[in-house]
């Protein structure tokens, strides 16, 4: 069991990923290094940090077998090199379907070992005017239970992007100190709902929320909302980056969690 630190520094990396795996890994590596230099002990990458392809099935061509592949090697090496907990955004892993992948978050310990895996269960679908998305075309939904892991800040719950709209997933974690939400929200949906949903998840679960996001105009023409953010258990924004590559950083404070949960013991008042 990992001992709990009073103050634990976390960071969310924001990228504007392209169609080049090598370029994306280089961009992520440079930003991870900067976050670690800023004292981050846990770093989260955004959804699709390794590829924003021109077509839905581009990610299928990049899929890896669980436990082997250049993306997984990169993540393990980065965690070990910097001695950090690394929430590896998402990467495409093999699924039972030949034409679909799992959109997966892998978490690495400071020793470079995988300590958690979460396959995205809610697949984004949106159609309005000329803008439309259907993740189910190239992604198979995960069938694993809600996933969390123990870090020095306490229990950490895992979710991905569209999951944010399903509060019952977060309740299923039980009490957590931190929720991580790698995302690639579209500009349309992000401008309307991103901050509202993230602050709601922090407030109702009385925990910190760390949301690493894609943020900018991508090579494939897609525009993502960005606004990577760390939110405290009162719903207050600790740090936020509007657009472009970079990172946000701040501390998960055990005293803040305890103070708010004692003043407003909503988690204890739950009846169902």
What range does the domain containing 95 cover?
8-269
Residue 115: inside a domain:
yes
C-alpha angle with apex 94: 105 to 115, nearest 5 degrees? 35
- Is pLDDT of 263 > 90? yes
Q: Tell how many helices (H) and how many strands (E) occur in the chain.
A: 8, 15
Distance (Å) of CA 272 to CA 164, 172, 207, 267:
21, 11, 19, 11
Predicted model pTM:
0.97
DSSP 123: P
Least confident piece of the model among 21-25, 159-163, 243-247, 267-271? 267-271
CA–chain centroid gap for 50, Å, is: 13
Residue 2: inside a domain:
no
Query: Do 160 and 103 touch, CB atoms closer than 8 A?
Result: yes
Q: What's the burial of 269, exposed, middle or buried (CB within 10 Å: 0-12/13-18/19+)?
A: exposed
Residue 1: inside a domain:
no
**Do β-strands 178-180 and 208-211 pair in parallel, antiparallel, or remain unpaired?**
parallel
Q: Name the residue with higher pLDDT: 1 or 238.
A: 238
- Total domains in the fold of the chain: 1
* pLDDT tens digits for range 171-210: 999 999 999 999 999 999 999 999 999 999 999 999 999 9
Tokens of 262: 């004692």
Tokens of 18: 């392209």
Rounded-to-10 torsion of CA 144, 104, 80, 50: 180
Q: CATH code at 223?
A: 3.60.110.10
Strand partners, 149: 156
- Is pLDDT of 141 > 90? yes
Strand partners, 247: 13
CB atoms within 10 A of CB 148: 21
Residue 57: inside a domain:
yes
- Is pLDDT of 2 > 80? no
- Is pLDDT of 1 > 70? no
Residue 208: inside a domain:
yes
Q: Give the model's pLDDT for residue 65.
A: 98
Active-site residue list:
47, 120, 161
Residue 173: inside a domain:
yes
* pLDDT tens digits for range 107-116: 999 999 999 9
* pLDDT tens digits for range 26-62: 999 999 999 999 999 999 999 999 999 999 899 999 9
Q: Where are the beta strands (DSSP E) in 95-186?
A: 101-108, 114-119, 125-128, 131-134, 148-151, 154-158, 178-180
Nearest alpha carbon to residue 47 among 144, 152, 133, 132: 133
């Amino acid at each position: 069991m990992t001992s709990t630190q009073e103050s634990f520094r976390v960071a969310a990396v924001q990228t504007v990923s392209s169609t080049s795996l090598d370029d994306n890994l280089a961009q992520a590596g440079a930003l991870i290094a900067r976050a670690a230099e800023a004292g981050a002990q846990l770093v989260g990458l955004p959804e699709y940090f390794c590829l924003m392809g021109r077509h839905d099935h581009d990610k299928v061509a990049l899929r890896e077998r669980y436990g082997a592949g250049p993306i997984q090697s990169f993540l393990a090496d980065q965690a070990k090199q910097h001695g950090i907990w690394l929430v590896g955004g998402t990467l495409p892993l093999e699924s039972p379907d030949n034409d679909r992948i799992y959109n997966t978050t892998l978490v690495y310990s400071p020793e470079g070992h995988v300590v958690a895996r979460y396959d995205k269960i809610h697949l984004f679908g949106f159609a309005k005017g000329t803008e439309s998305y259907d993740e189910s075309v190239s992604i198979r939904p995960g069938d694993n239970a809600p996933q969390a892991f123990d870090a020095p800040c306490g229990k950490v719950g895992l979710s991905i992007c569209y999951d944010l709209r399903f509060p019952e997933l977060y309740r299923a974690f039980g009490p957590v100190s931190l929720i991580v939400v790698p995302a690639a929200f579209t500009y349309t949906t992000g401008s309307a709902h991103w901050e509202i949903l993230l602050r709601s998840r922090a407030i109702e679960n009385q925990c910190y929320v760390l949301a690493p996001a894609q943020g900018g105009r991508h090579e494939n023409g897609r525009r993502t909302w960005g606004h990577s953010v760390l939110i405290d258990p009162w719903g207050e924004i600790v740090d936020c980056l509007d657009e472009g590559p970079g990172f946000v950083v701040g501390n998960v404070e055990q005293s803040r969690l305890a103070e708010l949960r004692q003043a407003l013991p909503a988690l204890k008042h739950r009846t169902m």
